[in-house]
Amino acid sequence: MRAISKHYWVVPAFFLHCLLLLGQASAIHADIAADHKKSESALVPESLIYLDSSNNPGYALVVEMESQTINVYECKDNFTLKHSFPCSTGKVTGKKEKTGDQKTPEGVYFFTKTSKKRYLSPTYGNRAFIMDYPNLLDSKSGRNGDNIWLHGTNKPLKPRDTNGCVAVANGNIDILARYIHLNRTPIIIKKKLRMVAPESNASELNGLLDFLESWKTAFVAGNKKNYSACYDLPSGNIEGLWETWEPIHTVWQSAKIPFRMSFKDMVIARANPCVVALFDQVLSLDHHATTVGTKKLFLQPLGSTWKIVAETYQPTELVDGTKEPLVVSLVLLEQLQKDYKTVAELVTKWAKAWSSEDIKQYGACYAKDFRAKGMDLKAWIRYKKGLHKRYDWIRVSVEDLKIRQDGARSTATFLQRYNSSGLHSVGIKRLRLKLVNGLWKIRRETWYKTENQ
């Protein structure tokens, strides 16, 4: 009995040991599966390279036609998957070439307009976003067509059931709408996505950013040779641009007026064989800054560097329908700088005339419709003549001059130190000016006391 009893207790111990081993193996497999799942979720589409948004975080939409899926990626420091929804693309597979071929285009696009339910037929559901297909690169390649939309649908969603649009269920288009900013949020459409580790794009991103920096530096320096070398083929646009830029650059450089170009809210995405870079192009000149527009570059690796193969602005309509936006902005900055100088000179002339009792020159600084303290120009001049008679001398100095310009109107604000034989005061003077026959004149004048002596 003791032998049997001993054998009886050994068997359960053996099974317990096996169960323990199985449990450990299951835990290991679970950990491996969890790590694999985590690793997969950390991967991002190769097409997503860079997104820097002042509306932090920024978002990008990615469509994979093979799986009929649309994904929303959020970007703070890195890209992370925010949403994934079923979608429907064109009934016919293959590269889109022309109107009516029922194919969905592959590439990087941006939304230019939106339409809400009340303006749409039931086919498009709750809302629709219009893409900028064909973009400039499509047009250069001979691809045409129009009305490629991302929209909802009132019908049951079926795979590959559109005439070329990307459709989603109504509830999902309403969710997607939260992440779309017109002419800013990219939608990347691919037949099949290649998923990569986020850091795998780092080297290419650094190369692209270096190239964009060299393109910008060449322009700011007025180096036409280096600027032209950034393009795949010589462009007539560069010649037209340099006709405006070269003389302006020479003046600014001679006067040592600080000028720079900067990029804001940049998106970089891959659409083989090109990379698309979209950003706000901002020019700064001394006291002035202006946004040229949202620049879009199509870049291709050629040899050991990148080259610009096409460029435009987003949206593509030009400021006045004819002139290149960069030319318009350069001319604007040149005029603002001239006006700033002219206004500053007028303020100096005004203070000098007042201090020297040159009432004729003083009066010439004012517009005929001038008003201040309930007085018109004639009454104002009489008032100033009276002050000159009351005091033996007057000295007016201008400090910390700030000029704000708005077309044909400007405002000069400064600290005014007023000293005379009978009165000493310090205050903030504000002169509101307007252009009269090409000359700046004071139309309003106010003063706020800050201290007395």
Mean pLDDT is lowest, of 30-44, 136-150, 222-236, for 30-44
Is there a domain that residue 8 lies in? Answer: no
We report the CATH number of the domain holding residue 96 as: 2.40.440.10
Give pLDDT, residue 1.
39
Compute the average pLDDT of residues 104-126.
92
Contact between 94 and 102 under an 8 Å Cβ cutoff? The reply is no
The verdict on residue 22 lying in a domain is no
Mean pLDDT of 293-301: 96
State whether 409 and 388 are in the same domain. Answer: yes
Q: Do residue 224 and residue 182 come from a single domain?
A: no
Residues in the chain: 453
Does residue 417 surpass a pLDDT of 70?
yes
Three-state DSSP at 208 gives helix
Write the CATH number for 431. 3.10.450.50
Which whole number is the average pLDDT over 67-83? 95
Q: How many CB atoms lie within 10 A of CB 68?
A: 18
Assess if residue 233 is contained within a domain. Answer: yes
Q: Are 70 and 178 found together in one domain?
A: yes
Residue 189 lies in a domain: yes
Residue 6 lies in a domain: no
| 440 lies in some domain | yes
Pick from 267, 296, 326: which residue ends a domain?
Answer: 326
Mean pLDDT of 297-315: 93
Same domain, 170 and 223: no
Residue 77 has pLDDT above 70, yes or no: yes
104 located within any domain: yes
Q: Do residue 300 and residue 377 come from a single domain? A: no
Same domain? For 89 and 140 the reply is yes
Which position has the higher pLDDT, 121 or 344? 344
340 and 293 co-located in one domain: no
For 200, which DSSP code? Answer: G
Question: Is the domain of 248 the same as that of 266?
Answer: yes
* Residue 53 sits in the same domain as residue 186: yes
Kindly state whether residues 181 and 66 are assigned to the same domain: yes
Rounded CA separation 379/386 (Å): 11
For 57-68, the pLDDT digits (tens) are: 999 999 999 999
Q: Which of 291, 308, 326 is the last residue of a domain?
A: 326
- Domain end marker among 196, 223, 239: 196
- For residue 246, CA distances in Å to 159, 195, 218, 312, 322 come to 55, 46, 12, 21, 20
69/204 same-domain check: no
Q: Is the pLDDT of residue 95 over 50?
A: yes
19 within a domain of the structure (yes/no): no
- pLDDT band, very low/low/confident/very high, at 34 (cuts 50, 70, 90): very low
The predicted pLDDT at position 56 comes to 80
Residue 383 has pLDDT above 90, yes or no: yes
Residues 400 and 278 in one domain: no
Residue 158 structural domain: 45-196
Decide if pLDDT at 29 tops 70: no
Per-residue burial over 427-444, b if 16 or more Cβ lie within 10 Å, else e, is bebbbbbbeeeeebbbbb
Question: Angle at Cα 63 formed by Cα 61 and Cα 68, nearest 5°?
Answer: 140
Of the candidates 421, 442, 424, 425, the residue with the CA atom closest to the CA atom of residue 433: 442
Report whether pLDDT(28) > 90. Answer: no
Q: Render pLDDT for 170-200 as a digit per residue (tens, 0 to 9).
A: 999 999 999 999 999 999 999 999 999 988 8
Structural domain count, the chain: 3
Which pTM does this prediction carry?
A: 0.81
Under 8 Å between Cβ of 316 and 139: no
